[in-house]
Structure formats: C-alpha cells, structure tokens
Amino acid sequence: MDILQELLSMQDRDYKQFSQKLVPNVPPERVIGVRSPQLRAYAKAVAGTKEAEAFLRTLPHAYHEENMLHAFLIERIRDADACIEALDAFLPYVDNWAVCDCMSPKTLGKQPEKLLRAVDRWLDSGAPYTVRYAIGQLMRWFLDERFDDAFARRVAAVRSDEYYVNMMRAWYFATALAKQYDAVLPYLTENRLDTWTHNKTIQKAAESLRIPPETKAYLRRLKRS
C-alpha cells in the first residue's frame, strides 16, 4: 500500500480549486484536492498499520492532504504520551490553519495535566501554527470547569505579528466571553489586549449565537479606534 498514491487516486479536481482558496498560503501544486471526510475515513482504515506508522515518521510531507491525513492519524492515537510526542514531531511542519485546527485528539482532554505541560512548551515555541494550536487546545479543553484565569493571561501575553495567531487569540477570548464572561470581560474593559485582537474579539463575540443581544451591544461600545 502506497499512501501517497492512494491519496492521489482520491483527487477531486473541482474540490482542488475550492481547497486552494481555503489555504491561500499553500502553493497550488501542493494541493491534491481530497475532501476531509474521505481523509478521515482513510485515516480510520489505515491507522495502526505498518504503512501508517512509517508515514507518521516521514516528515516533511510534500502535499497538503498528506498533512491533513497525518493530523487525522494523530487524532486516533489513544495514549496521551505517544500523542503528545507525535504532535511535537509534527507541529513544526504545520503551515496553515486548516491542518492546525483539524486535529484535537480526545485523549488529550483526558490527561489535562500532561496537555497543559505541552501547551506551555508550544506557546513558547515561537512557531506560528504551534502557538495557534496551543491556544486552540486551551479554548477546547480549558474554558469550562477547568477554566483558570492563568490560562487567559497566558493567551493575552502572546505577542505575534502573525494574522493566524492573533485570530486564534481573538477566537479564544470571544469564546471565553460566552463561557466565562465575568472572568474575561476585564481583558476588554481594562485594555489588556492589543487593539487588533481587542476589536476582533468583539467582532467575533458579536457574531456568536451564545451571547445575548444586550451583551453584544455593550461589547460593541468597547471597541477601540
């Protein structure tokens, strides 16, 4: 079984054009054009095989869909230590938001202490998509009963000129407003965020279905010029 040849055989040329628009920073020649449900199904089919294990060890990949498949295979790793090890190896090669955001292994949510130690390392990495991934994990697993303001402070302290990092910071705080409103509102009222992230947080909160209209109206008044 040749995994790359299998991916190439799944190509949908019409979808390739659409997919290229989703990840404009990926060169068109690196996009095959395979839909995510197909990639997930293929990951399920090959997970645990010798071919899949060899594929996970072979980095970097040439194609965007290889990276997507890699992400979906990592999601299927059940051991938290092995999963984090695989993420540590893969994250430096992640080069777009789609690959970054598509992998959130459930096993990590079952081992919050181990995940938080990894998140600390990832936030300090300086690699845009590694940092974005770390913030995304804090957003997914640590905005409910595990919430601690220390996590919000960590996200607020991130400094980056990268659009996709700051967009994830804004997404984090907008989601936090829906889940931990009283705790995170001071990040806006006390101007703890840079202007771009502050305003983007308000925009995304205003688009949220989980925040009531009167709260949205108040948040809009906090916009900075």
CA dihedral 150, 155, 130, 200 (to 10 degrees): 150
| Rounded distance between C-alpha atoms, residue 115 and residue 142, angstroms | 10
Instruction: Give Cβ neighbours of residue 104 (< 8 Å, ≥ 6 apart).
Output: 75, 136, 137, 140
214 falls in which pLDDT band (50, 70, 90)?
very high
pLDDT higher than threshold 80 for residue 1: no
Domain residue extents for the chain? 1-107, 111-225
Domain 111-225 has CATH 1.25.10.90: yes
Rounded to two decimals, what is the model's pTM? 0.96
State the pLDDT at residue 149. 98
- Percent with pLDDT over 90 in the chain: 99
Which residue pairs, CB below 8 angstroms and at least 24 apart, start in 72-79?
72/39, 72/40, 72/43, 72/102, 72/103, 73/43, 73/46, 73/47, 74/103, 74/105, 75/43, 75/103, 75/104, 75/105, 75/106, 76/43, 76/44, 76/47, 76/48, 76/105, 77/105, 77/107, 78/107, 79/107
State the pLDDT at residue 142. 98
66 falls in which pLDDT band (50, 70, 90)?
very high
Residue type, 199: N
State the pLDDT at residue 189. 98
What's the token pair of residue 109?
């949510």
150-170 pLDDT tens trace: 999 999 999 999 999 999 999
